[in-house]
Structure 1
Amino acid sequence: MPLYEFRCESCGIFDVWRSISESTSSAHCPTCEAPAKRIFSAPAVLSGGLRLKRENPEPQLVKRKTEPEAPKNRSHAGGRPWMIGH
């Protein structure tokens, strides 16, 4: 079920979990029970639909202890160069 946002004229914005078939109908404010209109906002595309705040927004610099070895050149001694290493 998606999470929809609604705006009450007196209380403000609130969220309601609803099925897609109920997405066009109005909702009632949980505080004052007045009818509220649905508002459209950018979707939260995260695991489970949760809105999370990252503690450290900067990427971390990762250093290797040793450098990887360069690939070694191989030669072939036959008429099948596509068979190198087989």
Structure 2
Amino acid sequence: MPLYDYRCNECGDFEKWLQISDLDSPVYCSDCDQVANRLISAPNISLNSGRFPKKYGTPELVTRKKRSVSPPRLQEAKAGRPWMVSHSPARY
């Protein structure tokens, strides 16, 4: 369940754990029982916590070797169209 920030006009800011399915329902202040407005805040994500090991150093420049490419060879079907075996005119 995510933690959401709310603001009551009389009591101030507070946080509340809500399920995503309950997000559209009104939230009441725990002190004065008035409807509170939800605040938009940035998520609390810490990427410098040490959990992510530093595996890689500085990126290296990768170059592609140029290779000679020969043009494709054209092939002709000698026995007609092999993919149309079931539609040959000899069967009709």
TM-score of the two chains, using structure 2 as the length reference: 0.47
Structure 1 SS opposite 2:13: strand
Alignment match, 2:23: 23
Structure 2 SS opposite 1:6: strand
Instruction: Give % identity.
Output: 43
Provide the rounded CA distance (Å) in 1 between the counterparts of 2:3 and 2:10: 21
Alignment match, 1:10: 10
Is there any run of 5+ residues in structure 1 with no aligned partner, and where? 47-86
Give per-residue Cα distances to partners, 1:46-71, cap 9 Å, x unaligned: 5xxxxxxxxxxxxxxxxxxxxxxxxx
Q: By how many angstroms is 1:37 displaced?
A: 1.0
Is there any run of 5+ residues in structure 2 with no aligned partner, and where? 47-92
User: Within the alignment, does 1:40 sit opposite 2:40 as a pair?
Assistant: yes
Q: Is the 8 A contact 1:26 1:38 kept in 2?
A: no
The amino acid across from 1:22 in the alignment is D
Count residues in correspondence: 47
Provide the rounded CA distance (Å) in 2 between the counterparts of 1:44 and 1:22: 21
Structure possessing the higher radius of gyration over alpha carbons:
2
Provide the rounded CA distance (Å) in 1 between the counterparts of 2:24 and 2:45: 21
1:73-84 paired onto structure 2 within 5 Å: none
Instruction: List, as ranges, runs of 4+ consecutive aligned residues in structure 1 with deviation greater than 2 Å.
Output: none
The amino acid across from 1:2 in the alignment is P
The amino acid across from 2:22 in the alignment is E
Give per-residue Cα distances to partners, 1:32-52, cap 9 Å, x unaligned: 111111111001125xxxxxx
